[in-house]
Amino acid sequence: MRKVKKLLLIWTEKRQNRIFRIAKQMAKEKQDITGVNCVKDNSGKLVVDGEGVKAVWQQYMEKLMNVENDWDHETTCDLKEGPADKMSVAEVRAALKCMKMHKAPGMSGVGSEMIRACGDTGINWLTDLLTDLCNLDGCLVPAHPGLPGYVP
């Protein structure tokens, strides 16, 4: 009986160690790779030091971003001529619904809650403003009195 208990104890300890080994292996597999240990440069030479790896990546990205790609200069879409389409009240209302509440307003100081509080009057005003801004011909000055930047 003692031999059986001794064997059972040894078997349990080995099993525990195996379970811990598997758990450690699983934890290592889940870890993110935080950096590249080595990379080949343009000449095919292996670079292993941290600064060298950064320099090789910088050269690669500069080359990638500064190369002009060849293309045939043909577009598949037609050019739109004339004034922009008028924005509809339904489009503005849908866009206003998608805006999040309780966010900091932009430079105008007008938040989505303020426009919603105005009801249909605020939505109509915003629709007119956006339509006028879309119809401007390269001009950045709003055509509505009462707005900052209005030039009569």
* Per-residue model confidence as pLDDT tens digits over 55-102: 998 999 888 888 777 777 776 777 666 666 778 899 999 989 998 888
**One-character DSSP codes across 34-73:** -S-S-EE-TTS-EE-SHHHHHHHHHHHHHHHHHPPPP---
Predicted local distance difference test score (pLDDT) of residue 53: 87
Q: For the chain, which residues make up each domain, given as ranges?
A: 2-60, 89-135
Model confidence over 39-54: pLDDT tens digits?
888 898 988 888 888 8
Separation between Cα atoms, residue 131 and residue 84, nearest integer Å: 8
Residue 150: how many other CB atoms lie within 10 Å:
11
